[in-house]
Structure 1
């Protein structure tokens, strides 16, 4: 092979055009282990009181102070002194 010869790539004209192919989402696979919601709870765990949110005027279940929907509303109220530090939430 001579050194001066250029390397060229020739595309064949009979290669089919794949622009009209349909691509769909893959089938989701099952993960290993037990699903999160199917763990049996023991008697002590069932008897425990659920935790409550400690943001003032909230006290609801199923969330904590970090993601409380009432927290933003409480921050906007100017009823408290700006220098007063409330324990449990900011």
Structure 2
């Protein structure tokens, strides 16, 4: 479709360097957030699996790692997702 405003860096948005930069940035934030969440999910799964063992030290280590990685993923997601939405609507 054509532009909704009178000027830009290209004839169509798909060729506009500024639009492409925003799309690339949002894509990177989404990729990194997904990676962090999947890593946290894997740690949570390992903590769950450890609970069937009798190894209290293993259970404690897995729980601690799961808590830390879940918190890290939460920090990333709670910062980057709203930022991505803002960038999208400001583009």
TM-score bucket (shorter structure): under 0.3
User: Which structure ranks higher in relative contact order (CA pairs < 8 Å, sequence separation ≥ 6)?
Assistant: 2
Structure showing greater radius of gyration is: 1
- TM-score, with normalisation over the residues of structure 2? 0.26
